[in-house]
């Protein structure tokens, strides 16, 4: 009798993997299948009663297969993966045939990335299709039990292992029969070390007549680069092709059967490993990228060009007996490299533990070269032995950090963390894992982060993951082999460069709902924060976000504004883009967040409520979680198999980030009322005073460069031009009394016009000496400098930088306002020109209110008029043009001719400007300004000038 029996081995996101099969019955429909062979392959199969079954028609010619001794042929092995804005949808398909004269098992075994959501699985057995459905676990078991009672249950899957990545299906296939497996899963690709890495396991197990890995990338932000490392080995050099456009890329790997062979005459395949695609995207704004589509928004946040925050780091290293040998040797090698990478501003110490706990230093020390070398020598002397006392080691580490904080030894802007390296469960001291987790949580008090490295397979990785997530950190399994050292160093590099802390994402509450985690303890360089939610696109034209954070030398407020329909055209034109990517990403983040919240739930009632929410999300979005099961059945629903996933015996769950809900927002001035600016103390938020809009009440320098000085007492505007050379730096304000300097550096046009080369301000520098702050504004960037620290925004950003009661506000592609307490403010205007213009260049204009509180010692081309001089204008006569009369001006003991004319104020109209009537002083302001304009040339952008 021909018969079919099957079992599924399914590894899902919760860390439960291998499964046993209980065979209960033999399906009648399959039992009656016969094989009509053509060249060893069955034709469309007939049932014995003469009824034709569905045939697999898309295989084409299936001859020339290479078979192992088991006579199983692999017709094709195909992987298709499409990445749409970090959301990867992957399909793995295998078509196989049993050419033996007897029934035998065919196995479909693939590696699914940890954290991926399996959403579909199908089998096609000689035209009979089995499809999958997601059900609540108890309901699925009930349906299976009913099928079993009717004799229609093919098998049940139960757990018996802790493998974390396998999805395995085994079907006992009659001779000559074809079978096709197809698995679908999706995942969000996380950014690590400045790169997105998409890893696909490609292990067909045998030579395939048709082998293909096809990856398409669609990133609306634009692709910075695409790289495919030779992860499958030198054997496949030159086979992968990459086609990259501005926002799309296609990667193809299609080795022929000859290229798959390990050697020319080998029947075994060399394709056995991971196919890896690495890429990164363009980033124009510091505030992140908002992508809105189909009623959901995704906010990708990965700012660059920020100075690292200083860190206080304690390394806690397991030196118990189980670490003996290669593990310890590799750990020592990694620690020596890691210590060498500590920055001068960092503080650190080392703790090693077995049944006892030892400290290299009882307190944090600065990472000076001598201390680092001493720590390396200490590491070298470690000899593993004894038991494992994790509880006491972690409590000692938290004590050192808490004591340093209470003694005022920690920089307020620094980030504190503990890095635990261990390979096993506790064997000494406190052994109960839940008690250790509670003890550490109470000791850390949400002040520090805990990162855990679990070495090897004996370690309770789920415990390390829970305790790390519970304390604002993350865990990673390190495989104990020759690459242990490299894996440890790569993990450290992910957390070695904290750039921001206390990051808060804010959105208008009336426009968004169901927002995922929006408050984060730290942001590390090279990573990415992702926030998602639902958005009311029917009643909204634009969505605005405001991100507040603490940087190394300033408080940041970064704004982003996006049209809710901006992506519609792009997405609809691309046939490969997943139109559901925003919903899937939102669901992915939400489910993982709820999993983490469930782990940390303090009461059973709260845990039950969270479980109900996870279950509903799993059913709504057709994904397998620990609370659902996958029913696999044929079209007639009279053949049922059950892929079940029991609870983790160690009560672990799924990876994710604990959601933190902030308190009610503070309504700080200059920030929308809905924005929670908890990262920005109110005392650092002076009122944002823009210069008055009236064109008659402000001093300004704009265009090439035209100076307009407003004299409030006489209500006159006096104009003059400065004709100097590109590269020269003009002093605008030099006030030793307040310690304020404003200088502008000239840039020339691309070529002369009418035998004259126009010059403009291409760079403006502000120096606030008493605060120790410098601001440099160019036509590309806005940079705040505080000693050795610097923070930069681009003109593509909208946001704020706050430092020492100095507020820098950037309006995208428009202007920058600098506000210093209540005393003074400045506005710098950006003028963009056509990039291919034959003459003109981008330039800056500066606007300074006369109300600014400069001291009597203020000078400079503008600063000298803080104390208004007496000006007399008389004897007005007609000029050569009727609209340009002339007159005599008397000022500062000088007497000269001036001309009535018109200049421009570009604050309200940056294209045409607003006309400003003024009296024009010829010869670069000679007679109106003190001395000659060359007296106002300074050597550096932040130099004070000497009075003429």
Give the model confidence (pLDDT) of 12-62 as tens digits: 333 323 333 332 333 333 333 323 232 333 333 333 333 333 344 456 555
Distances (CA, A) of 688 to 443, 667, 853, 866: 41, 14, 16, 22
CB atoms within 10 A of CB 362: 12
Distance CA 842, CA 780 (A): 9
Q: CA–CA distance from 162 to each of 6, 19, 493, 623 (Å)?
A: 21, 10, 29, 20
CA torsion angle 359 365 366 370 (round to 10): -60
pLDDT bin (cut points 50, 70, 90) of residue 71 is confident
Most confident of the ranges 95-104, 365-374, 687-696: 365-374
Name the 3-class secondary structure at 466. helix
Phi, psi of 441 (to 5 degrees): -60, -45
Cβ of 160: how many Cβ atoms within 10 Å?
Answer: 13
| Burial classification of residue 472, based on how many CB atoms lie within 10 Å of its CB (0-12 exposed, 13-18 middle, 19 or more buried) | buried
pLDDT digits (tens, 9 = 90+) for 488-535: 999 999 999 999 999 999 999 999 999 999 999 999 999 999 999 999
Burial class (CB in 10 A: 0-12, 13-18, 19+), 136: middle
* The pLDDT of residue 774: 96
Q: How far is CA 257 from the centre of its chain?
A: 39
Half-sphere exposure of 367 (CA within 13 A, CB side): 17
Contacts of 603 (CB under 8 A, 6+ apart): none
Q: DSSP readout, 596-623?
A: HHHHH-SSHHHHHHHHHHHHHHHHHTT-
Do residues 485 and 493 make contact, with C-beta atoms less than 8 angstroms apart? no
Residue 783 in tokens = 């940079």
Q: State the pairing for strand pair 798-803/914-921.
A: unpaired
**What's the pLDDT score for residue 161?**
32
Confidence of residue 353 (pLDDT cuts 50, 70, 90): very high
Cα–Cα distance between 869 and 874 in angstroms, integer? 16
> 847, 910 in Cβ contact below 8 A?
no
**CA dihedral of 418, 421, 424, 430, whole degrees rounded to 10:** -30
Cβ atoms of 665 and 506 closer than 8 Å? yes
In the structure encoding, which two tokens stand for residue 665, read together? Answer: 């927002």
Please tell me the pTM assigned to this model: 0.81
Which residue bears the tokens 């680069």? Answer: 225
Q: How far is residue 389's CA from residue 439's CA, in Å, rounded to a whole number? A: 13
CA trace torsion 935, 938, 943, 944 (10° rounding): 0
> Are the CB atoms for 530 and 656 separated by under 8 Å?
no
- Among the listed ranges 98-107, 268-277, 296-305, which one has the minimum average pLDDT value? 98-107
Beta strands 208-218; 289-293: pairing state: unpaired
Going by their DSSP bridges, the two strands 195-202 and 208-218 should be labelled as: unpaired
Region 836-861 average pLDDT: 92
Q: How confident is the model over 198-223, as a mean pLDDT?
A: 96
pLDDT of residue 656: 29
Determine the angle formed by the axes of helices 581-600 and 604-620, rounding to 10 degrees: 160
pLDDT at 913 exceeding the cut of 70: yes
CA trace torsion 653, 659, 660, 661 (10° rounding): -130
Strands 815-820 and 781-786 turn out to be: unpaired
**In angstroms, how far is CA 277 from the centroid of its own chain?**
17
Structure tokens at 625: 């979680």
Looking at 338-342, 376-380, 712-716, which range is the least confident one?
712-716
Q: Left (φ > 0), alpha (ψ -120 to 50) or beta: where does 340 sit?
A: alpha
How many angstroms separate the CA atoms of 741 and 745, rounded?
13
Gyration radius from the chain CA atoms: 35
- Separation of alpha carbons 850 and 863, rounded Å: 9
Assess whether pLDDT exceeds 80 at residue 773: yes
Q: Which parts of 423-469 are beta strand (E)?
A: 449-455
Place of tokens 């928004």: 297
- Measure the CA–CA gap between 618 and 598, rounded to whole angstroms: 15
CA distance 846 to 851: 15
Q: What is the pLDDT of residue 285?
A: 81
Q: What is the mean pLDDT of residues 536-553?
A: 91
Is pLDDT at 748 greater than 90 in this prediction? yes
Neighbours of 186 (CB within 10 A): 25
Nearest to 631 by CA among 166, 168, 8: 8
Distance CA 310, CA 470 (A): 23
Q: How far apart are CA 772 and CA 766, in angstroms?
A: 11
Cα-to-chain-centroid distance, residue 577: 20
Distance CA 632, CA 77 (A): 22
CB distance 498 to 464 below 8 Å: no
Confidence band of 721 (pLDDT split at 50, 70, 90): very high
Q: With 50 as the cut, is the pLDDT of residue 682 above it? A: no
Per DSSP, helices labelled H in 78-180 are 137-149
Q: Which pairing describes strands 729-735 and 223-227: parallel, antiparallel, or unpaired?
A: unpaired
Structure token digits, residue 320: 């118990």
Average pLDDT (528-546) is: 94
pLDDT over 60 at 452, yes or no: yes
Residues whose CB is less than 8 angstroms from the CB of residue 906 and which lie 6 or more positions away in sequence, other chains included: 702, 829, 831, 845, 913, 914
Give the side-chain half-sphere CA count within 13 A for 708. 31
Name the helix (H) or strand (E) containing 253.
Answer: strand 248-253
Distance CA 784, CA 765 (A): 10
Q: Please tell me the distance from the alpha carbon of residue 93 to that of residue 74, in angstroms, as a whole number.
A: 11
> Per-residue pLDDT for 694 more than 90?
no
Residue showing tokens 């044929």: 634
Whether the per-residue pLDDT at 669 is higher than 80: the answer is no
Output the DSSP codes for 750-786.
SS-BTTB--EEEEEEEEEETTTTEEEEEESSEEEEEE
**β-sheet bridge partners, residue 449:** 417
Contact present, 415 and 312 (Cβ < 8 Å): yes
The C-alpha atoms of residue 142 and residue 488 are separated, in whole angstroms, by 46
* Average pLDDT value for the chain: 84
Poorest-confidence range of 2-6, 661-665, 729-733, 760-764? 661-665
Note every long-range contact of 487-490, with CB atoms under 8 Å and residues 24 or more positions apart, other chains counting: 488/330, 488/331, 488/334, 488/335, 488/338, 488/421, 488/453, 489/334, 489/337, 489/338, 490/193
Residues 506 and 675: beta-carbon distance below 8 Å? yes
Taking CB atoms within 8 Å and a gap of at least 24, the contacts of 886-893 are 887/919, 889/919, 889/921, 889/927, 889/928, 891/927, 891/928, 892/927, 892/928, 892/930
Cα–Cα distance between 850 and 859 in angstroms, integer? 13
Q: Nearest-CA neighbor of 283 among 517, 525, 568?
A: 525
């Amino acid at each position: 009798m021909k018969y079919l029996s099957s079992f599924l081995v399914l590894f899902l996101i919760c860390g439960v993997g291998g499964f046993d099969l209980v065979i209960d019955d033999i399906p009648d429909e399959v039992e009656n299948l016969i094989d009509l062979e053509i060249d060893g392959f069955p034709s469309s199969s007939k049932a014995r009663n003469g009824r034709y079954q569905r045939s697999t028609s898309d295989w084409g010619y299936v001859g020339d297969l290479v078979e192992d001794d088991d006579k199983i042929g692999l017709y094709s092995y195909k992987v298709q993966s499409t990445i749409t804005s970090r959301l990867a949808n992957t399909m793995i398909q295998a078509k196989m045939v049993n050419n033996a004269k007897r029934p035998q098992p065919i196995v479909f075994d693939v590696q699914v990335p940890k954290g991926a959501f399996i959403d579909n699985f199908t089998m096609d057995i000689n035209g009979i299709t089995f499809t999958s459905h997601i059900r609540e676990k108890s309901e699925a078991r009930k349906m299976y039990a009913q099928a079993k009672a009717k004799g229609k249950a093919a098998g049940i899957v139960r757990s018996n292992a802790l493998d974390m990545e396998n999805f395995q299906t085994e079907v006992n296939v009659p001779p000559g029969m074809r079978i096709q497996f197809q698995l679908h899963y999706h995942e969000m690709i996380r950014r690590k070390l400045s790169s997105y890495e998409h890893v696909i396991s490609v292990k067909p197990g045998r030579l395939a007549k048709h082998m293909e890995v096809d990856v398409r990338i669609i990133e609306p932000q634009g692709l910075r680069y695409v790289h495919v490392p030779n992860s499958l080995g030198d054997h496949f050099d030159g086979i992968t092709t990459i086609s990259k456009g501005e926002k799309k890329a296609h990667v193809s790997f299609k080795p022929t059967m000859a290229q798959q062979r390990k050697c020319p005459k080998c029947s075994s395949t060399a394709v056995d490993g991971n196919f890896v695609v690495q890429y990164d995207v363009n980033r124009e704004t510091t505030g992140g990228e908002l992508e809105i589509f189909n009623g959901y928004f995704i906010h990708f946040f990965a700012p660059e060009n920020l100075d690292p925050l200083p860190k206080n780091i304690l390394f806690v290293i397991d030196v118990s007996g189980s670490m003996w040998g290669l593990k310890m040797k590799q750990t020592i090698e990694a620690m020596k490299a890691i210590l060498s990478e500590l920055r001068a501003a960092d503080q650190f110490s080392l703790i090693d533990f077995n049944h006892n706990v030892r400290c290299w230093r009882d307190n944090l020390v600065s990472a000076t070269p001598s201390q680092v070398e001493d720590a390396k020598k200490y590491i070298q002397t470690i000899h593993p032995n004894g038991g494992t006392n994790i509880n006491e080691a972690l409590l000692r580490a938290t004590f050192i950090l808490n004591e340093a904080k209470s003694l005022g030894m920690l920089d307020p802007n620094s980030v504190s963390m503990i890095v635990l390296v261990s390979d096993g469960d506790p064997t000494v001291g406190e052994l109960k894992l839940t008690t250790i987790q509670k003890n550490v949580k109470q000791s850390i008090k949400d002040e520090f982060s805990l990162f855990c490295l679990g070495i090897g397979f004996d370690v309770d990785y789920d415990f390390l993951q829970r305790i790390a997530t519970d304390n604002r950190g993350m865990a990673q399994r390190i495989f104990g082999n020759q690459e242990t050292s490299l894996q440890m160093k790569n993990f450290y590099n992910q957390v070695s460069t904290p750039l921001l802390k206390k990051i808060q994402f804010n959105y208008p509450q009336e426009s968004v709902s169901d927002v995922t985690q929006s408050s984060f303890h730290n942001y590390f360089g090279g990573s990415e924060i992702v926030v998602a939610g639902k958005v009311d696109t029917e009643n909204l034209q634009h969505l605005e976000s405001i991100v507040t954070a603490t940087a190394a030398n300033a408080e940041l407020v970064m704004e982003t504004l996006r049209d809710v329909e901006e992506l519609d055209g792009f997405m609809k034109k691309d046939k490969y883009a997943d139109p559901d990517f925003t919903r899937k990403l939102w669901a992915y983040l939400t489910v993982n967040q709820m999993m983490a919240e469930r782990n940390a739930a303090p009461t059973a009632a709260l845990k039950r409520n969270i479980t109900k929410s996870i279950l509903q999300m799993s059913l709504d979005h057709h994904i397998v979680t620990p609370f659902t099961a996958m029913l696999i059945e044929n079209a007639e629903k009279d053949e049922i198999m059950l892929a079940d996933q029991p609870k983790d015996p160690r009560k672990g769950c799924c990876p994710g980030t604990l959601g933190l809900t902030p308190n009610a927002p503070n309504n700080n001035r200059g920030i929308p009322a809905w924005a929670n600016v908890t990262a920005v103390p109110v005392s650092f938020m002076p009122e944002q005073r823009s210069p008055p809009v009236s064109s008659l009440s402000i001093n300004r320098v704009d265009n090439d460069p035209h100076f307009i000085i407003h004299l409030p007492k006489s209500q006159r505007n006096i104009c003059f031009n400065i004709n100097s050379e590109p590269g020269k730096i003009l002093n605008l304000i030099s006030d030793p009394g307040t310690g304020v300097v404003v200088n502008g550096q000239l840039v020339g046009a691309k070529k002369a016009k009418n035998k004259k080369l126009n010059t403009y301000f291409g760079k403006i520098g502000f120096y606030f000496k008493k605060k120790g702050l410098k601001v440099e504004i160019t036509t590309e960037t806005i940079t705040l400098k505080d000693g050795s620290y610097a923070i930069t925004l681009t003109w593509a950003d909208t946001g704020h930088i706050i430092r020492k009661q100095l507020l820098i506000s950037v309006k995208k592609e428009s202007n920058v306002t600098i506000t210093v307490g209540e005393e003074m403010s400045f506005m710098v205007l950006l003028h963009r020109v056509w990039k291919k213009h034959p003459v003109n260049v981008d330039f800056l204009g500066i606007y300074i209110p006369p109300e600014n509180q400069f001291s009597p010692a203020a000078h400079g081309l503008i600063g000298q008029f803080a104390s208004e001089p007496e000006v007399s204008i008389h004897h007005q006569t007609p000029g050569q043009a009727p609209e340009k009369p002339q007159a005599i001006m008397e000022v500062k003991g000088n007497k000269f001719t001036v001309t009535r004319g018109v200049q421009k104020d570009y604050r309200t109209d940056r294209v045409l400007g607003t006309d400003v009537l003024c009296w024009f002083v010829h010869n670069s302001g000679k007679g109106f300004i003190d001395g000659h304009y060359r007296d106002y040339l300074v050597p550096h952008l932040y130099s004070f000038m000497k009075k003429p």
